[in-house]
Amino acid sequence: MHQQHLNTIDYGNPKCVMPRALENLMIYENFDVHETHRIEDGICTQLTRLPPKKQELLKQFGIQNNQTVTYYEKYIITENFSRFCNEYKVADHRPFLELQENGLSKSEQLKFVRYLGQGLPNLTLNKIYLAFKDVLGFNRIEKMITDGYNLETILKRKKKNLLNRMSATAVNKECKPDINPSSIPASVLTTASSTAITTNNAPQLLSPYQQHNAFNT
pLDDT tens digits, 117-147 = 999 999 999 999 999 999 999 888 888 887 8
pLDDT tens digits, 173-203: 665 544 444 433 444 444 444 433 343 444 4
pLDDT confidence of residue 171: 74
* pLDDT at residue number 138: 85
* Sign of the CA dihedral running 173, 177, 183, 188: positive
The residue-averaged pLDDT of 153-176 equals 84
Average pLDDT of the residues in 144-153:
87
Contact 154, 26 (CB under 8 A): no
**At a CB cut-off of 8 Å and minimum separation 6, what does 152 contact?**
none
The alpha carbon torsion through 132, 209, 44, 144 (nearest 10 deg) reads -10
Mean predicted confidence (pLDDT) in 7-16 = 46
Tens of pLDDT, residue by residue over 33-80, are: 999 999 999 999 999 999 999 999 999 999 988 889 999 999 999 999
Q: In whole angstroms, give the CA distance from residue 77 to residue 73.
A: 6
Residue 217 contacts residue 169 (beta carbons within 8 Å): yes
User: What's the confidence (pLDDT) of residue 140?
Assistant: 81
